[in-house]
């Protein structure tokens, strides 16, 4: 992989023809060595770990555009006044701008796949610039490019893993309305990209009409809002799936990718809004959405089984699974009137358990 040389001045990584700066700690030099190695050889052949949620994914992806200034400074030392006009540098900077615009797309599985698809806009020219650099240029560019490439490799692999095995915040109902806002904003960015992408012969009029019909705000403010937006999104999905680029060469190109992303995100967001509407229907019996969220935060909710059941536990105590009834509602042990959503049924179990525990505590202290 490489070596770290230690001296009285500090520690320095060396991997192949690349050498890092002198670091005060062995760990810092070790990080340099790892990045030099990943930049040239890629990540180890191991399954990538999914992000724990949108916050972690956003932080990881944001590290990519944050390398912009260091790249500009290093390129200026190599190319002087022509740094920003050097093709590879210009391509990297444009790619960083594109990835930076998509940070909030990490809130959906389709958005994670989209960012993973866009990262090569940075990765490919960065790899080319590193490969063609020699001598003093390599000395200046090796570390910033290796750091950038490492972040690209890691984020791309983990985003794809997150899309394949999403954490709880990336499927099911929206726990907060800003999640729906972010997904609708991503949908509009995809639409704008589609409008700017040449695709001779493709009729976008149905897509444009469906997108223009989407509400401009209050996407998830009430159950009615959720269902109305979901219905509009179904029209977007249908229009996107019908608007196949006429030329076979374009179907696998940028226009085809954007159509697939538009269709997938419209379907994903619509499904989540429908699930959110069911939770909002249950607020009449359970209080506010915050009350439901607070109740659910006290418990561990299992992933749905093949039969559709979800376990509900508080500590070591199992409150029993919630399950779907024949008419599509949700029930559980002790629930006489089913709820509209699995979250509502689970919250009811939690609130009942907490009330019983409080009653028992009061009896013990009286």
The three-state (H, E, C) secondary structure of 76-101, written as one string: HHHHHHHHHHCHHHHHHHHHHHHHHH
pLDDT in tens, 297-343: 999 998 888 888 999 999 889 998 999 999 999 999 999 999 999 99
Query: 331 in helix, strand or coil?
Result: strand
Does the pTM surpass 0.85? The reply is yes
Q: Which two tokens stand for residue 363?
A: 């009896």
- Cα 124 to Cα 95, 121, 128, 145, distances in angstroms: 10, 6, 6, 11
Are residues 194 and 207 in contact, defined by beta-carbon separation less than 8 angstroms?
yes
Contact (Cβ atoms closer than 8 angstroms) between residue 339 and residue 329: yes
- For the segment 218-236, what is each residue's pLDDT rounded down to a tens digit? 788 899 999 999 999 999 9
Query: What would the pLDDT profile of 93-152 be if each residue is shown by its tens digit?
Result: 999 999 999 999 999 999 999 999 999 999 999 999 999 988 888 888 989 999 999 999
**Which H, E and C letters describe 94-129, residue by residue?**
HHHHHHHHCHHHHHCHHHHHHHHHHCHHHHHHHHHH
- Distance between CA 280 and CA 21 in Å, rounded? 56
310 touches 342 (CB < 8 A):
yes
d(CA 332, CA 338): 8
Q: What is the pLDDT of residues 245-276, one digit of tens each?
A: 665 555 568 999 999 999 999 999 999 999 99
């Amino acid at each position: 992989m490489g070596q770290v040389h230690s001296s009285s001045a500090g520690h320095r990584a060396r991997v192949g023809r690349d050498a890092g700066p002198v670091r005060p700690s062995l760990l810092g030099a070790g990080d340099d060595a790892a990045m030099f190695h990943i930049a040239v050889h890629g990540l180890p052949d191991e399954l990538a770990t999914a992000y724990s949620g949108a916050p972690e994914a956003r932080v990881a992806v944001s590290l990519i555009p944050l390398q912009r200034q260091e790249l500009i400074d290093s390129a200026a030392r190599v190319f002087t006044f022509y740094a920003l006009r050097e093709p590879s540098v210009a391509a990297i900077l444009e790619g960083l701008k594109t990835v930076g615009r998509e940070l909030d797309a990490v809130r959906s599985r389709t958005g994670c796949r989209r960012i993973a698809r866009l990262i090569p806009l940075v990765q490919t020219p960065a790899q080319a610039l590193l490969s063609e650099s020699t001598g003093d240029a390599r000395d200046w560019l090796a570390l910033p490019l290796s750091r950038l490439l490492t972040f690209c490799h890691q984020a791309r692999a983990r985003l794809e893993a997150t899309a394949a095995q999403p954490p709880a915040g990336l499927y099911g109902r929206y726990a907060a309305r800003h999640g729906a806002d972010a997904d609708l904003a991503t949908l509009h960015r995809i639409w704008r990209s589609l409008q700017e992408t040449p695709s001779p012969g493709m009729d976008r009029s149905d897509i444009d009409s469906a997108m223009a019909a989407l509400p401009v705000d209050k996407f998830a403010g009430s159950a009615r809002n959720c269902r109305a937006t979901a219905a509009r999104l179904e029209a977007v999905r249908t229009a996107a799936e019908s608007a196949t680029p006429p030329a076979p060469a374009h179907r696998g190109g940028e226009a085809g990718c954007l159509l697939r992303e538009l269709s997938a995100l419209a379907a994903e967001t619509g499904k989540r809004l429908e699930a959110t509407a069911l939770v909002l229907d249950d607020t009449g019996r359970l209080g506010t959405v915050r009350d439901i969220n607070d109740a659910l935060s006290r418990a561990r909710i299992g992933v749905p089984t093949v039969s559709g059941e979800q376990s509900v536990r508080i500590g070591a105590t199992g409150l029993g699974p919630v399950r779907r009834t024949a008419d599509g509602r949700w029930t559980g042990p002790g629930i006489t009137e089913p709820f509209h959503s699995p979250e509502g049924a689970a919250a009811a179990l939690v609130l009942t358990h907490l009330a019983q525990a409080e009653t028992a505590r009061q009896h013990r202290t009286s």
